[in-house]
Amino acid sequence: MRDDTDQAVAHAESVKDAFNSPFHPFVLASTSIGQEGLDFHTWCHAVMHWNLPSNPVDLEQREGRVHRYKGHAVRKNIAEYYGLSALHSLAESADPWAQLFALAASQRKAGQSDLIPYWIFEEGTSRVERRVPILPYSKESIKFKRLKRELALYRIVFGQPRQEDLLFGLKHSGDESLTDMAQCLIFLEPPKCDAP
């Protein structure tokens, strides 16, 4: 594919394949075109926002490139929490990640979401990281505060707030109260299945 100046343009699939390896590149610079349809979660858990989108949904989309099923931060936490000792009975040809995730799923507490451990596993030091280089007192700093608050409210509605954003949103809330927000909740969790 070529752009309007007849220069070769990398296909999204080849960029994704090049990025999703334990080797270079460790940083990928992208415009807003990279906020949808690309999965960079295999070897990455940080997103650098060079500019801020206009709404919380786009911010969520950008961070969704690395916050995925069995993402890098989740796998790092599972490896940190269980360690090599959890693999002592692993057959040589078996998948170590399958065993670690099965162990983590078997130890999920009653009533916890089925998102644990596949999407969320916070028993470790790794988190999906948001990095926003903004100057103090700039328009971007005001916009970022607004976006964080709106993102927290957006996530509350869908029942998956990030704790830092939730606390920030509640701290800077205007007229909303916890009871008002509870009436807006939409639960997308699959129903619990009792084993026969």
Quick one: three-class SS letters along the chain?
Answer: CECCCCCECCCHHHHHHHHCCCCCCCCCCCCHHHHCCCCCCCCCCEEECCCCCCCHHHHHHHHCCCCCCCCHHHHHHHHHHHCHHHHCCCCCCCCHHHHHHHHHHHCCCCCCCCCCCCCCCCCCCCCCEEECCCCCCCHHHHHHHHHHHHHHHHHHHCCCCCHHHHHHHHHCCCCCCHHHHHCCCCCCCCCCCCCC
Q: What average pLDDT score do residues 77-103 get? A: 90
Lowest-pLDDT range of 43-57, 96-110, 116-130: 43-57
- Taking only the tens place, the pLDDT of each residue in 105-114 is 999 998 888 8
Is pLDDT larger for residue 86 or for residue 165? Answer: 86
Structure tokens at 7: 């220069």
**pLDDT at residue number 124:** 93
**Residue 161, pLDDT above cutoff 60:** no
Question: What phi, psi does 42 have (nearest 5°)?
Answer: -60, -45
Beta bridge partners of residue 47, listed in sequence order: 130
pLDDT of amino acid 1:
46
Side chain identity at 181, as an amino acid letter? M
Inform me whether the pLDDT recorded for 78 exceeds 90. Answer: yes
Rounded distance, CA 134 to CA 140, Å? 6
* C-alpha span between 34 and 37 (Å, rounded): 7
pLDDT at 108: 92
Q: How far apart are CA 20 and CA 163, in angstroms?
A: 28
pLDDT digit string, tens, across residues 9-34 = 567 677 777 777 777 666 666 667 76
- Higher pLDDT, residue 179 or 117: 117
